[in-house]
Amino acid sequence: MSEIKIILPDNSVRSFDHEPTTLEVATSIGARLAKDTLGAKINGSVDVVDFRTPLKDGTRLEIVTTKSKEAVDVVRHSAAHLMAQAVQEIWPEVKVTIGPVVDNGFYYDFDSPFNFTEEHFEKIEKKMEEIQKKDLPLVRENWPINQAIETFSKMGERFKVELIRDLATKGETVVGIYHQGPWFDLCRGPHVQSTGQIKAFKLMSVAGAYWKGDQANPMLQRVYATAFQDKKDLEEYLKNIEEAKKRDHRKLGKELGMFTFHHFAPGSPFFTGRGAVVYNELQKYLRELYFKYGYNEVITPQFFDVELFKTSGHLANYKDNMYFTKIDERDFGAKPMNCPSHCLLFDSEKYSYRDLPYRMADFGRLHRNEISGALSGLTRVRTFCQDDGHIFCTKDQLQSEIKGFVEMLNEIYQKLGMNEYKVYLSTRPENRMGTEEDWDNAEGALEAALKSLNIPYEINPGDGAFYGPKLDIMFVDALKRPWQLGTIQCDPNLPLNFNLKYTGEDNVEHTPLMLHRAVLGSLERFIGVYLEHTAGHLPTWLSPTQVCILNVTDRVNDFCDKIQSHLKDNMIRVEFDRRNEKLNFKIREAQLRKVPFMLIVGDKEAEAGTVSIRLRDGTLHNNIDFKDACEMIIKNSQNRELSITIPSTALSGAT
């Protein structure tokens, strides 16, 4: 065999007399690197391959180590095998199926004659620790299909046999088998070098799952678990899980009286008066920014003849997520997105290049037929409203429009205290419309815009919309959880489908480029995410009740009424708790409702024309002139301030 050359990220070259594995390349560089090697990325791909895979001549190699961001997924994939081995060593009658990595962990589906419980979890984890301490090497073998079928058939592993037969129908002739000690499993990898590299793991929960997701197939038991490279990361994750339970927006929404659900309308939230305050304040803020950034707010219908969705491509690509009905013997559909109706609206007028970019915004209600098992509070619903917008522009205007979107997004996110987010460039999916050239141009334009703005980003292959690539904004909340909220999508296809035109400077008709964009995304989903991010401690301007006046005695009620009237005249949402209850009881109730300001009034305060301000964090400021207190609260709300600070002018006479 001629010399095999492997190219490293710094363009240095390692030469071998055979096709080396990544581990061999790492070993040639240094023992420490070899010890830390977990996988590889080759020829620019984002996918991680097993370090045991032979490398072809000219391969560009990036070694994935224990310090790489991809390392945790390799560890979790291997931990799934560790868990399956532990289960079968304890209960040999249990059969195994699949064990993939998922967000925040992994799962394994088992065909078990009994139901797993927390007591079983303890036994499994103990056995996993025993196997981990043995530091068993993970050894890969490639078996011919017939050998694999024969071996797993003898073991009674009918699910594995079915998977192998499926691979055979796709043209596979060999399958990967990973051994760890006496136990082995069908898998393509990648995996760690030995069980000793799986440092920290925890079984989390169990649920039922049909084999291959088909109700006609057997019901299996899906054991969810997680794993990390060290126990410190696991402990932090488990701590965040407990904190997340406290912050669950479904729990907070009920406690704060903001929204509810009913079985007559599954997946469709009811916002109470208190919840509607948050909803409407967000829309009010967005409308002000639409004015600032040059958007035209429009209103479009809810139902359309299905011919519209044939033209837009939704009927071919999104039909299963839509609702349909008949009106006057014609087939109609509820709109799942605003973009087709915005195309109709754009097409209703004549535009020249001087009119572009034309920015259109719409708070119209949308409906999507989510499966019942996917519904979850406000974060996955069937009816919702987006801060939806579409921009019709020329190709030359694309860069500036993306810049304007980023500026608007940063302004909104900073106002809301959402300071950390990541950007992903989602590229063409398998099922898509349009030509490859259109997709090349659209993806290239988005990537060029990101580079020109010096915005760090990652590629999310295959996750674009069916009509075009997109930038997904992943907000990272207070518990370091990512949430996909904002997006901007570059669409060359819908304008072609709808034959949209504008007259260019050359007096010839041209097809505009269409950008789909949202900053918060679904308002329902955003409110759910934001409640969890803030633990329900909303900024004053978003709080359903901004001020609660607490009297110590009925003798001060006239003064309290005066304060309430003054605040109401300035559009402050204020309540006067005049109940004959102890002050501490009233304070506790206001704190549970997370009211930003509590104004406490006793005889001394009423006589002096002052109040004591108690903030929801428990801090107390006494003897503040009531007019100064009101002015401070009014400014805090009007300026949409994120935090609460008591200005020194208000404190000048306070103790």
Instruction: Report whether pLDDT(338) > 60.
Output: yes
Are the C-beta atoms of 190 and 50 separated by less than 8 Å?
A: yes
Over residues 149-177, the mean pLDDT reads: 93
A 10 A CB-CB count for 248 gives 14
- Of the pLDDT bands very low, low, confident and very high (cuts 50, 70, 90), residue 1 is low
SS (H, E, C) 562-622: HHHHHHHHCCCCEEEECCCCCHHHHHHHHHHCCCCEEEEECHHHHHHCEEEEEECCCCEEE
Domain 4-65 and domain 540-651, same fold? Reply is no
Instruction: Report whether pLDDT(654) > 60.
Output: no
> What percent of the chain clears pLDDT 70, i.e. is strictly above it?
98
Tens of pLDDT, residues 175-199 = 999 999 999 999 988 999 999 999 9
Query: What confidence score (pLDDT) does residue 83 get?
Result: 96
A 10 A CB-CB count for 565 gives 12
Tens of pLDDT, residues 225-254 = 999 999 999 999 999 889 989 999 999 999
Q: What are phi and psi of 322, to 5 degrees?
A: -115, 160
- Of the pLDDT bands very low, low, confident and very high (cuts 50, 70, 90), residue 441 is confident
User: Distance between CA atoms of 84 and 77, rounded to whole angstroms?
Assistant: 11
User: Distance between CA atoms of 492 and 464, rounded to whole angstroms?
Assistant: 13
Query: What confidence score (pLDDT) does residue 650 get?
Result: 58
User: Distance between CA atoms of 53 and 70, rounded to whole angstroms?
Assistant: 17
In 374-481, DSSP assigns E strands to 383-393, 421-426, 458-460, 470-476
Instruction: Report whether pLDDT(445) > 90.
Output: no
Half-sphere exposure of 565 (CA within 13 A, CB side): 6
Q: Which two tokens stand for residue 49?
A: 């391959």
pTM of the model: 0.80
Domain extents in the chain: 4-65, 71-244, 255-534, 540-651
Lowest mean pLDDT among 51-55, 214-218, 336-340: 214-218
Instruction: Report whether pLDDT(423) > 80.
Output: yes
**CATH 3.10.20.30 is held by the domain 4-65:** yes
> What percent of the chain clears pLDDT 90, i.e. is strictly above it?
80
**CATH 3.30.980.10 is held by the domain 71-244:** yes
Q: Which residues are catalytic?
A: 339, 368, 386, 388, 390, 470, 516
**Domain 255-534: what homologous superfamily?**
Bira Bifunctional Protein; Domain 2 (3.30.930.10)
Instruction: Report whether pLDDT(374) > 90.
Output: no
Query: What confidence score (pLDDT) does residue 373 get?
Result: 79
Query: What confidence score (pLDDT) does residue 652 get?
Result: 53
Q: What are phi and psi of 12, to 5 degrees?
A: -75, 160
Tens of pLDDT, residues 39-83 = 999 998 888 999 999 999 999 999 999 999 999 999 999 999 999
Instruction: Report whether pLDDT(655) > 60.
Output: no
Over residues 10-30, the mean pLDDT reads: 94
Q: What is the CATH number of domain 540-651?
A: 3.40.50.800
Lowest mean pLDDT among 275-284, 500-509, 644-653: 644-653
Query: What confidence score (pLDDT) does residue 648 get?
Result: 64
Considering the chain, what is the average pLDDT of its residues? 93
Instruction: Report whether pLDDT(613) > 90.
Output: yes
Query: What confidence score (pLDDT) does residue 199 get?
Result: 93
Lowest mean pLDDT among 212-216, 218-222, 346-350, 604-608: 212-216
Over residues 591-610, the mean pLDDT reads: 95
User: Distance between CA atoms of 609 and 342, rounded to whole angstroms?
Assistant: 56
Instruction: Report whether pLDDT(449) > 90.
Output: no
Over residues 567-577, the mean pLDDT reads: 97
Query: What confidence score (pLDDT) does residue 480 get?
Result: 86
